[in-house]
Structure 1
Amino acid sequence: MAIGLAGALALAACGGASDSGANSSGEIKGTIDFWMGDPIGDAQQPIMQKLADDYAAAHPGTKVNLRFLGKDAHQTYLTSIAGGSVPCVALIGNTWTPEFAALNALEVYANDPKTLQGTYVPGMIESTIFKGKSYAVPYDTGVRALIYRKDMLEAIGKTAAPATWQELREDALAIQAKNQGVNGFGIIGGAHWYYLPLIWNWGGEIAKQSGDKWVSEAGSTQSVQAFQFYSDLLTKDRLSPAGASAWTAADVDKSMGLGQTAMMVGGSWDLRTILKQSPDLEGKLGTAVLPKGPGGNNDTFAGGSNLAVFRECNNKAVANDFVKFMMTKENLVPVTSNLGLLPATNDALAQEKATGSFSAPLFKAYAEQADHTRSIPPVASWGKVEGANSIVNAMQSIMSGKKTADVAMKELADQVNQAIG
C-alpha cells in the first residue's frame, strides 16, 4: 500500500447483503456489510459508525453493518474472494485495487476513467484503473512533502525551502557543516516510497505499457541516475548516519523530533508524530512541496484508500447509494481530517485548502502536493514486487557498494518484469 496506512481489509463472518430479499428492483432497502481497516483506528470508529447510523436513519428499511478490521488482511481477503464471502462495500488500499479488479471481484465504477477527471485527485484516479476501466471510488489521499527546520535554513542565508534536489543537497551540506551532530537530510533506505518517485523526478518512468503488457523501466538511464543520486546522499555526502540505509519513516520522525535532522520527506502523519513528540518545534518547522528533479517535476505517490463495491454484492442499489452518501463533502471531510489525510474529491480538497485542517500554514504544502501525484503501474501483480522487497534490496545494494547502480537497476528491471509480465 502506498502510504503504509492505506485502507486494509480482512475476512468477515459474512458478506454481501444479509437481508433475505435481494434488491434487484433498485429500491433503496435492505442490509449491506461495509468493511474497513487501517487507517480506521479507534479515534475514527465512532465517526464511521455515526455515518452508518445516519444513512440508515435517512433511508428507513436499510442497515449498514460495519466491521473494523486489522492489518493482517491481504491474504485473508484473497481467501474470502476465492470463497465468495465478501462485503458489499469496502475501504481498500489503493494499491490493491488493480489486483482485486483482476480477480473479477469488483464492480466497474466507470467504463471511461476520463469522465472522473475534474472530480477526483488525478493520482487517485490512476489508482482505480485496471485495463482501461475504473473499479473504485477514490476516497482519501496521503502524500509526502518536504519538512524542514526553518531556523537552520535561515542560518545559512536561505529564506525558502530548496526548489530542486540538487539545491536540497547543497543546503543539507551547508546546514550539516554549521550544526555539529545534525543530519542535513533524513535518508530512508528501508522504504521505497521515499525514493522510487525520484525516477519520475529524473524524467523516467517506473514502467511503461507495451501493447497489453507493462514493462519495467528500472534499468533506464533516468532510473539509474535517480537511485545513484539518492545513494550518494548517504554514501558520499553522509547526510545521515550509515544505518540510514535501513531506516524507515519512524526512524527519521524520531530523529527530526529530537532535533537531530534538518530536513526530511514525510507525510502529514509524520508531521503530526513529530509535533506530538516535540511540540516546541512547531515554530521552527516549515513544509514545502517536494523539490524538482532534472526531469522538471516533483511528482510523488498518491497513497490512500478507495471505496469499492464488490461484484458478488446482492444489494447493489443500497451499496451504490451508500457510497454516494459517504463521498459527499459533509461526510467525507470529518473522516479524512481526523485521519490527517486529504479527501480525494476536488471539491472537498478545495474546502480543506481554504478553511479546513490543511489550510493551516504547516499543512498547506500537503494540499499543494496533491496536485503533483501519480500512482503505481496499474498491474494486478504489483504486490509481488513489493512483497519481494525488490526495490529496497536494489537501493540497499547500491548504498552498501555491493553493486553498481547500473547492475542493481538492471537486475531490478528483470525482477519487476518477472513479477508483472
Structure 2
Amino acid sequence: MKALGVGAAAGLAGCGGTGGDGAADEMGGDTGDGSTTSGDGGSGDSGNAPLFWNYAFPNDGTDPIWKDTFLKNAEERIGQEPRMGRFAYEDLRQKFLTGARTGDPDVIEGVLSHLTEYVKADHLEPIGGFAEGLPWYDGYVQSALDALTYRGKLYGLPYNGNARAFIVRQDILDELGQDVPQSASAFHEVGRMINSEYDDIYAYHNCTKKGSVRAFQEWMSHVYQHTDQLYVPDGDSWKLNITADQLGQIFDNWYYQIYAADDPVGDPDTLGTGWQVNDPGYLNGRWAFIECGTWLRGWTSGDNINNSEKTKDILNNKTLVGHLPRGEGASKGTFLEVKPVMVNTHSDQKETAKGIAASFASPDTLTAMGEDAKGNGMTPVHKDVESTITNENWAPFTDVFKTGRALAKIGWGQVRSPFYTYMQQVAYGKTDPYEAGDQFHDELKSLASEL
C-alpha cells in the first residue's frame, strides 16, 4: 500500500520545522488558529508601542537571528521595540480587511494578493516618497518594487521573493533512465512510470484544497506559461487575456490527469489537501515531483519531518530544481511571489509605522533572514543581500525567478472563488476539463468589468 507513515500523518495538521513555520510563506492561508505568539494583537493608540502583525518569523524554537536583528534595527530607528502579533495569513487578511479602520495594526506583513485587496479597501498608506529617501532604496530589485506599485503609487517595501519551481527527485529519474520532463505530456508519462515502479512513492502532488492560497498560486504558475497576465488594462477597466482552450488545457494537464484519469499521476486519496500534505510529503520521500518555492530547502526538522537525516539527504543530494513542465504552445513562466510589509493608512503613528517597515525590509534584516531561514534568502529582493544558495542543484531557482510574473492589481478574491469550484470539479472527475475551461472563461470574462 502507498501510504504515509503514522508519524507523517500526525504531523501534517500544521507547519513546523526549521523554515517550516516561518517558511510557510504564502501557504499560510491554509492553517493557523489565529492566535498571536509574540506581543499582542490588541488595540493600540498613540500611547502604546506601534503594533506589527506578521506571519514571517519562525515559531519553532530556532535561534531568532532574524527577529532579533529586526527588533534592534527598529529600536534604533524609532526608539522602541514594536509590539507584535502573529497570525496565519488568511487570518491576517480577514482581520485587517474588517478591522484596519480601528488603526490596528500600524504595520502588517503579508502576501502580494493581500496588497491589492488592502489598497482597494483604502487601508494602505502610499510610502513612495518615504521609501525613496531610504539610503538603500535603489538596491531593491525593480520587478519587486513594480509588484508593489498600484496606479503609480508604492504601497509596500519588498522583503522576500521567490518563484514557483519544479522540485524533482533526480535520483528517481536516474534510476529509471529518464530526464527531467520539459513538457506536460512527458511529465505525465514519466509520472505514470514512477507510479508503476515504486510501491512507496507517488509521482506528484499539488494542492486541491478549497480556499488554499497555494492551490491558487500553483494554478497561476501554469496560467503564466500561457500568458503574461490573466487580465490586462483596458482603459479604466480590465480585459481577460487567456483563451478558453488554454484554461481547459491547464485543468486537463494539472488536475484531470493528476487525479481523475484512469491512470492518475497523483494519489486520488490526497484530493482536497493543501501544502500541509504537499511539502512534508516531499520532504519525507512521499512524492517525486512537487511545485514549490525556496522555503522548502530550510525545512529539515520539526513535527512534520519523520527523519531529519533522510530529509537532509533528499534536499542536499537527491533534489534538482527546474522550470515547470509546459503544456502545448506554452513557454517558461511561473508565479512570482513578492512579499511586502505595509503601513495602515488609519494608524495614528504612520511615520513610526514607516520606520518599522523600513527596519523590517532593510538589507541588514534581510541578510539575517537568510541566516535564520536559508530558504528565504535564496532569491533576494535587494542587490546588497547575497543568495544563500550553496548547492548547485538548487541554483536554477535564480533562473526560474527571472521568469516569474507578479499578479495584476485586481481584486483576486472574485477570481479565486470560482477557480476553486472548477478546479475541484475537474480533479474529482465531475466535469470535463475543457468544459470547465469554457465555463470558467465565460465567468472570468464577465468579471472583467467588476475588477
TM-score w.r.t. the length of structure 2 is 0.74
| Residue of 53, 75, 79 corresponding to 1:62 | 79
Provide, for residues 215-253 of structure 1, a one-character-per-residue CA deviation record: whole Å limited to 9, x for no partner. 445653222222222222431542122234423233234
What corresponds to 2:28 in structure 1? 5
Aligned residue type for 2:429: G
What corresponds to 1:228 in structure 2? 252
- Tell me, yes or no, if the aligned pair for 1:40 and 1:68 is still in contact at 8 Å: no
Offset of 1:408 from its aligned partner?
A: 1.5
Q: Distance in 2 between matches of 1:38 and 1:46?
A: 12
Aligned residue type for 2:68: K
Of 134-143 and 173-182, more deviation after overlay is shown by: 173-182
What corresponds to 1:24 in structure 2? none
1:307 aligns with 2:341: yes
What corresponds to 1:346 in structure 2? 382
- Tell me, yes or no, if the aligned pair for 1:125 and 1:138 is still in contact at 8 Å: yes
- Tell me, yes or no, if the aligned pair for 2:144 and 2:381 is still in contact at 8 Å: no
1:249 aligns with 2:280: no
The equivalences for 1:260-409 within 5 A come to 260-273=286-299, 276-278=305-307, 279-280=309-310, 281-282=313-314, 284-293=317-326, 294-339=328-373, 340-342=375-377, 344-348=380-384, 351-352=386-387, 356=388, 358-361=389-392, 363-379=394-410, 381-386=411-416, 388=417, 390-409=418-437
- Tell me, yes or no, if the aligned pair for 2:145 and 2:158 is still in contact at 8 Å: yes
What corresponds to 2:203 in structure 1? 184
Q: Distance in 1 between matches of 2:148 and 2:67?
A: 26
1:18 aligns with 2:47: yes
Q: Distance in 1 between matches of 2:380 and 2:221?
A: 20
- Tell me, yes or no, if the aligned pair for 2:208 and 2:424 is still in contact at 8 Å: yes
Q: Distance in 2 between matches of 1:197 and 1:143?
A: 9
Q: Distance in 1 between matches of 2:25 and 2:279?
A: 18
- Give the secondary-structure state (helix, strand or coil) at the position aligned to 2:191: helix
Q: Distance in 2 between matches of 1:70 and 1:370?
A: 27
- Tell me, yes or no, if the aligned pair for 1:5 and 1:304 is still in contact at 8 Å: no
Offset of 1:40 from its aligned partner?
A: 4.8
- Give the secondary-structure state (helix, strand or coil) at the position aligned to 2:81: strand
1:82 aligns with 2:75: no
What corresponds to 2:182 in structure 1? 163
| Residue of 168, 174, 195 corresponding to 2:193 | 174
What corresponds to 1:93 in structure 2? 111
From the superposition, tell whether residues 173 and 43 of structure 1 become closer, same or farther in structure 2 (CA, over 3 Å): same
Q: Distance in 2 between matches of 1:258 and 1:331?
A: 31
1:125 aligns with 2:145: yes
Offset of 1:362 from its aligned partner?
A: 5.1
Provide, for residues 48-89 of structure 1, a one-character-per-residue CA deviation record: whole Å limited to 9, x for no partner. 653354236535x72232212222232322232233x23433
- Tell me, yes or no, if the aligned pair for 2:248 and 2:433 is still in contact at 8 Å: yes
Q: Distance in 2 between matches of 1:52 and 1:272?
A: 20
Q: Distance in 1 between matches of 2:70 and 2:295?
A: 26
From the superposition, tell whether residues 284 and 44 of structure 1 become closer, same or farther in structure 2 (CA, over 3 Å): closer
Offset of 1:161 from its aligned partner?
A: 2.8
Offset of 1:98 from its aligned partner?
A: 1.2
From the superposition, tell whether residues 164 and 94 of structure 1 become closer, same or farther in structure 2 (CA, over 3 Å): same
- Tell me, yes or no, if the aligned pair for 1:199 and 1:223 is still in contact at 8 Å: yes
Q: Distance in 1 between matches of 2:191 and 2:329?
A: 21
- Give the secondary-structure state (helix, strand or coil) at the position aligned to 1:359: coil
Q: Distance in 2 between matches of 1:110 and 1:220?
A: 38
From the superposition, tell whether residues 87 and 44 of structure 1 become closer, same or farther in structure 2 (CA, over 3 Å): farther
Equivalenced residues, count: 398
From the superposition, tell whether residues 180 and 241 of structure 1 become closer, same or farther in structure 2 (CA, over 3 Å): same
Q: Distance in 1 between matches of 2:283 and 2:68?
A: 35
- Tell me, yes or no, if the aligned pair for 2:188 and 2:257 is still in contact at 8 Å: no
RMSD: 3.8
- Give the secondary-structure state (helix, strand or coil) at the position aligned to 1:18: coil
Provide, for residues 369-415 of structure 1, a one-character-per-residue CA deviation record: whole Å limited to 9, x for no partner. 32222222311x313443x3x22321221233322223322333454
- Give the secondary-structure state (helix, strand or coil) at the position aligned to 2:265: coil
Provide, for residues 163-203 of structure 1, a one-character-per-residue CA deviation record: whole Å limited to 9, x for no partner. 33333333323333443553233344332322332122134
- Tell me, yes or no, if the aligned pair for 2:141 and 2:383 is still in contact at 8 Å: no
Q: Distance in 1 between matches of 2:70 and 2:282?
A: 39
Q: Distance in 2 between matches of 1:58 and 1:399?
A: 52
- Tell me, yes or no, if the aligned pair for 1:144 and 1:369 is still in contact at 8 Å: yes
- Give the secondary-structure state (helix, strand or coil) at the position aligned to 1:4: helix
From the superposition, tell whether residues 297 and 5 of structure 1 become closer, same or farther in structure 2 (CA, over 3 Å): farther
TM-score w.r.t. the length of structure 1 is 0.79
What corresponds to 2:8 in structure 1? none
Offset of 1:45 from its aligned partner?
A: 9.2
What corresponds to 1:25 in structure 2? none
Aligned residue type for 1:406: Y
From the superposition, tell whether residues 313 and 162 of structure 1 become closer, same or farther in structure 2 (CA, over 3 Å): same
Q: Distance in 1 between matches of 2:82 and 2:285?
A: 46
Structure 2, unpaired ranges of 5+: 1-23, 210-214
Structure 1, unpaired ranges of 5+: 20-30
- Tell me, yes or no, if the aligned pair for 1:204 and 1:223 is still in contact at 8 Å: no
Q: Distance in 1 between matches of 2:147 and 2:96?
A: 19
Offset of 1:204 from its aligned partner?
A: 6.6
Offset of 1:360 from its aligned partner?
A: 3.0
| Residue of 252, 264, 278 corresponding to 1:238 | 264
Identity of aligned residues (%): 16
Q: Distance in 2 between matches of 1:204 and 1:328?
A: 30
Offset of 1:97 from its aligned partner?
A: 0.6
